[in-house]
Amino acid sequence: MGMMSVCMGRPVLRAGLTAILAFGLAAPGCIRQMRTDIVENQRRLDELEDDLEAKRKELEEALAEASRVLRRNSADQGLQIEEIQQRLAAMEGQFAEVRMELSGASEAQAQRSLEIQQQLSEVARAAGMDVPLESSEIPEDKAAHWDALQKAYRINKHSYARALARAYVARYPKDEHADNAQYMIGSSYLSQGQAAAALGEFQKVISKYRTSDAIDETLYDMSQAFLKVRACNDAGTALKALLKNHPKSPLYRQAQKDLRKVKSFGPAECDDR
């Protein structure tokens, strides 16, 4: 039995030596590959971090631009806000891709991505961005669509009302309610204190629906929005247009009072005086 154990052990010993030798010969190649993989992974992470840093700076610039627009005193604010919205929408798609690639990255990198996302949200809020509705959320029937819009507007479901209004204007641009739907978008923004976004939407009423029965309301609300961004001269211009062109408006007397008040404002209330 002793002799048999020794003989049987030799193949096992030989197999072990063979495996060790094979590993020893292969190890340098494995190590080189591992090092190559590590270097490549680090390079990719560095690229992602650089990409994130560049986008972070772009976001900060967008935030600064949005802040400047909010302080401006001209009626083209809305157009600039719209441009910022489009820019942010594109950047959001880019960030989604980067966040996906960084899903397995370190906790610090994940935190950095979260911080950038928060900055993006802040800029989006400053620009008055809304989440669009799915087509299934919009009534197919025009009358039902208008009823849903009116209800959402009446109960101050601002984001939903704006989405319904935008869809209504897009679907039925020549409809008798299209001008009022456009006005509701601006009015909703104004109700939420987003004066610059409101101005852009009110400007669309003025430019697209010149004979609208909502022009007087639009001009009055524009004056209020201009005051919120401390643009007193533009507020006065809107009130004067209302008084000149809509003498029978229910807002006429209030516009007269407001115009007198606006004329009395000085540098403490206005940035343009």
pLDDT in tens, 38-53: 667 667 766 766 766 6
Rounded mean pLDDT, 67-86? 53
Rounded mean pLDDT, 223-231? 95
What stretch(es) of the chain map to CATH 1.25.40.10? 139-264
pLDDT bracket for residue 10 (50, 70, 90): very low
* pLDDT score of 14 more than 50: no
pLDDT bracket for residue 160 (50, 70, 90): confident
Distance, CA of 117 to CA of 128 (rounded, Å): 16
Q: Dihedral, CA atoms, 106, 112, 114, 115, nearest 10 degrees?
A: 160
* CATH number for the domain running over 33-126: 1.20.58
What are the φ/ψ torsions at residue 236 (nearest 5 degrees)? -65, -40
* pLDDT score of 245 more than 80: yes
* pLDDT score of 182 more than 70: yes
Q: Which residue would you say has higher pLDDT here, 269 or 124?
A: 269
Placement of tokens 């409101």 in the chain: 198
Check residue 27 and give its pLDDT.
Answer: 53
Check residue 159 and give its pLDDT.
Answer: 84
- Closest C-alpha among 62, 167, 208 to residue 125: 62
Check residue 8 and give its pLDDT.
Answer: 41
Check residue 43 and give its pLDDT.
Answer: 73
Q: What is the residue-averaged pLDDT of the chain?
A: 76
Check residue 92 and give its pLDDT.
Answer: 59
Check residue 112 and give its pLDDT.
Answer: 63
What stretch(es) of the chain map to CATH 1.20.58? 33-126
Pick from 19-23, 29-33, 229-233: least confident: 19-23
pLDDT bracket for residue 173 (50, 70, 90): very high
pLDDT bracket for residue 233 (50, 70, 90): very high
Q: Which residue would you say has higher pLDDT here, 181 or 107?
A: 181
Distance, CA of 121 to CA of 15 (rounded, Å): 63
Rounded mean pLDDT, 192-204? 92
Check residue 254 and give its pLDDT.
Answer: 98
Checking phi first, is residue 156 left (phi over 0); if not, alpha (psi -120 to 50) or beta?
A: left
* pLDDT score of 255 more than 60: yes
* pLDDT score of 25 more than 60: no
* CATH number for the domain running over 139-264: 1.25.40.10
The answer to whether 69 and 85 have CB atoms below 8 angstroms apart is no
* pLDDT score of 100 more than 90: no
> Tens of pLDDT along 55-76?
666 656 655 555 555 445 444 5
> Tens of pLDDT along 106-142?
566 556 656 666 666 555 544 546 766 788 889 999 9
Checking phi first, is residue 129 left (phi over 0); if not, alpha (psi -120 to 50) or beta?
A: beta
